[in-house]
Structure 1
């Protein structure tokens, strides 16, 4: 069985090239047939893993992605009809903050549920290979959200995208391609800020995006309890999952993201299982909150994240908003195998060195609990000194020291001074906007070995402190993946 599946995987690109050439002289189709990057076979080890998990090479796939964990999962349908996890890929780089994309140019990587069809696959990407996430979907558009060309691509470079290594995207692209050859019209792409566990929800309970996250968590729960791809609809500017026609209805409900929801029902077996899971998660979340589980920091000023396996390979690398631990945990991964080639131009997230202003200040006495704490870089000026002398603010020790001194003569009012500098920690200056990089593909080899079979890659040379990542989302070619394969339909 494994041998037959492997042979089929190796022969598929050759059969594709022959069929396209026989179909005629369409230059786009011939170009695709000769595109070695887009036609790389699924690696033999991955094909063997499919056979072990009762999966067919061309069965449907589903992708889930988690920002904070910096992981992308490829799920594949088994012969029973359920989806099972095939492989987890660490994400090399994602940009922005936790939360959905709102507008063009905000550097945010999208969150939500999207559908990827063959026309969204880009075999001629400037970032090795890519597929378009489909942002904005109907929900995003109903809220007036803007943005375009948000991709999952190679080259480990991101300005609102999810960037993998070239070897990783080659595998993911091949899995999507084979699912289309098997008859899947579109695969679902689920993007989350983090794994939707009770612990993570409690950790982020003060985040203003929580209402949105609770809404997409419902879709996550539908998938978790059924292991089937949830049907996604939109109405009243919200997501609706697994909706079906009500009893005695003569036709399926028609959904419009901006209109009132039609009459619909959710199958009882799904609704009850999801309700039980939500009740368990809500109880656990409330328990953790009552125990004082620390909340995640808001407005970090850090641009995105990176999986710790990649951060460990880069001098002074940081995981940014992704889970990574301390420098010792990164150091322990230095000798581990890198999942693909890390470009020398990679720009890891920069740690935020500004003081954390959203953490509560621990007061030593009740008298100082409401005292405003001066930000870093501020010194005691005329007004601060005057306030301290009349008993407003200051610590208990300072008040006692003031009381012990003899009364000072009444100060002569001085002319107000104009502040020469602002406190350094009040405003954090963002890095300069990265310039779109010039295409460097001509200097790079066309093919990359698979992630499964590649040898451990050496750590790249240190990047100078002034180096800025240049890059942006690739431009989608006008000749679509769907058009190129029209001869095979």
Structure 2
């Protein structure tokens, strides 16, 4: 996402309009004017940032945590606070349709116009779902908020005190001229342990794509530039042509130093994931209806649908033995593309991409590459097909 700064006067006008409409509706806008708590201001000063500096939000569903980051004088983001999440709903995985109770996952943008001082959930702001990629993929629904009241039907729900502070920090950043706040929403922290554990989940390809943006931020501590093509997110890339969310990506130019740094981190993570995969059993985690941070366990009655907060169930998944994948791979040179696709999917799950590619007939390369575009777990197959890229 391009980082642009609005003139403070323009932001003030936007907030004035919101406040006026809120006062006309129910007079609750005074909540949105609460100051940033003194202890938070003191921590900002200690970290070398200010309340007017740009901010960035990172959220993790499985851990039920929401992080606030503030930009320092050197342009890098500094972790300011982590708020335990009082309630989120649905399952791990992206939101795809209206009414699925899913908290979205992806990269979103919050502008002053999305701040709601008149929320019936104390205070709230719209995270910006659906983004351009969501819409292009046919994902429906909207009005996904970060709000108070500890009640969620697809939103990031905090306590009233928490949302008051988060709202005040965001308001101050907009007052300082920030045009849009990036929100990064993840299923879980992008650790090797989590990725190894969830390696056979149907969403793993999408999650690995999100990890690319996570890695850019972790390496640079700067806001990733977000774009869309090839039905996926691309980060910090300058295209040579038009970018369309569902069409193949045009040639992309990236900073070689950044590519090297991010690739080094990814390679180290992949090595750890492969190591853990030898001992960590793959699972699919199923929630009755989302969860909340453990710190709220003794106050479960204050949350929406407390009866659903029973903890997730882990369903063991079976990895297809490598021997079976090898046998399927050996048939690829003589079988139809249908068999090719089946073997490719099995290989993607068992991390045997190289086996498939070695036996793959040249006429099937196009089908395999297309599958790699459509199914994230087969990215390793595409890499093996194009080792020079």
Give the TM-score category using the shorter length: 0.7 to 0.9
Cα distance in 2, alignment partners of residues 193 and 218 from structure 1: 14
CA offset at residue 206 of structure 1? Answer: 1.4
Q: Which of 292, 310, 315 is equivalent to 1:306? A: 292
Distance 2:287 2:63 in 1: 18
The offset of 1:269, in angstroms, is: 1.5
CA distance in 2, matches of 1:29, 1:240: 38
Higher RCO structure, 1 or 2 (CA under 8 Å, sep 6+): 1
Structure 1 pair 206–182 and aligned structure 2 pair: CA distance change class (3 A): same
Over aligned residues, Cα RMSD in angstroms?
A: 2.6
Task: Find 2:243's aligned residue among 248, 255, 261.
Answer: 255
Equivalent position of 1:227 in the other structure: 221
Q: How many angstroms apart in 1 are the aligned matches of 2:270 and 2:190?
A: 12
Q: Which residue of 1 is the match for residue 281 of structure 2?
A: 294
CA drift at 1:237: 1.1
Corresponding position: 1:169 with 2:169: no
Which of 55, 66, 72 is the aligned partner of 2:66?
72
Task: For 2:304 and 2:239, locate their aligned partners in 1 and report how far apart those are by CA, in whole Å.
Answer: 53
Could you tell me how far apart the structure 1 residues matched to 2:259 and 2:276 are?
Answer: 26
Q: Are the structure 2 counterparts of residues 80 and 296 from structure 1 closer, same or farther at C-alpha, using a change threshold of 3 Å?
A: same
Q: Distance in 2 between matches of 1:172 and 1:117?
A: 14
Aligned match for 2:310, one of 340, 344, 351? 351
Q: In the alignment, which residue of structure 2 is the partner of 1:190? A: 184
Alignment of 1:339-378 (within 5 A): 343=302, 347=306, 349-351=308-310, 358=316
| Contact kept in structure 2, 1:244 and 1:264, CA below 8 Å | yes
| Distance apart, 1:188 and its partner CA | 0.2
Per-residue CA distance 1:141-168 (angstroms, 9 max, x = gap): 1111111111111000001111000000
- Structure 1 residue runs without a partner (length 5+): 1-11, 247-252, 316-342, 361-489
Residues 306 and 349, structure 1, Cα contact 8 Å, conserved in 2: no
Q: Name the structure where strand makes up a greater proportion of residues.
A: 2
1:52 paired residue among 35, 46, 54: 46
Report what 1:95 is aligned to: 89
Counterpart CA distance in 2 for 1:153 and 1:352 is: 23
Displacement after TM superposition at 1:30 (Å): 6.0
1:199 to 173, 193, 202: 193
What is the deviation of 1:314?
A: 3.6
| Other structure's SS at 2:102 match | coil
CA distance in structure 1 between the partners assigned to 2:178 and 2:164 by the alignment? 19
How far, CA to CA, are the matches of 1:236 and 1:349 in structure 2? 37
Residues 209-224 of structure 1: pairs in structure 2 closer than 5 A: 209-224=203-218
Q: Aligned partners of 1:214, 1:34: CA distance in 2, in Å? A: 42
Q: Distance in 1 between matches of 2:138 and 2:317?
A: 33
SS in 1 for 2:30: coil
The answer to whether the 8 A contact 1:156-1:346 is kept is no
Change beyond 3 A, Cα 1:232–1:27: closer
Q: Secondary structure at the match of 1:257?
A: coil
- Cα distance in 1 for partners of 2:158, 2:123 equals 10
Residue matched to 1:131: 125
Counterpart for residue 279 of structure 1 = 267
TM-score (norm 1): 0.59
Are the aligned partners of 1:94 and 1:304 in contact in 2 as well (CA < 8 Å)? yes
**Counterparts in 2 of 1:258 and 1:40: CA distance versus 1, 3 Å:** same
- Equivalent residues of 2:126, 2:144 under 8 A apart: yes
Could you tell me how far 1:81 is from its partner in structure 2?
A: 0.6
- 5+ long unaligned stretches in structure 2: 1-7, 319-389
> Is the partner of 1:37 in helix, strand or coil?
helix
Over 3 Å counting, the alpha-carbon distance change for 1:170 and 1:208 in structure 2 is same
Task: State the Cα distance separating 1:78 from its structure 2 match.
Answer: 0.4
**Contact conserved, 2:86 with 2:303, CA < 8 A, in 1?**
no
Q: Is the 8 A contact 2:291 2:309 kept in 1?
A: no
Structure 1 residues 188-242: Cα deviation after superposition (integer angstroms, max 9, x where no partner): 0000000001111001111110000000100000000000000000012111100
Secondary structure in 2 matching 1:313: helix
Change (3 A) 1:137 1:297: same
Q: What is the Cα deviation at residue 97 of structure 1?
A: 0.4
Assess if the C-alpha contact under 8 Å between 1:55 and 1:77 holds in 2: yes
- Partners of 1:106 and 1:311 in 2: CA distance: 25
Partner of 1:386: none
* Matching of residue 264 in structure 1 with residue 258 in structure 2: no
1:107-126 equivalent positions in 2, closer than 5 A:
107-126=101-120
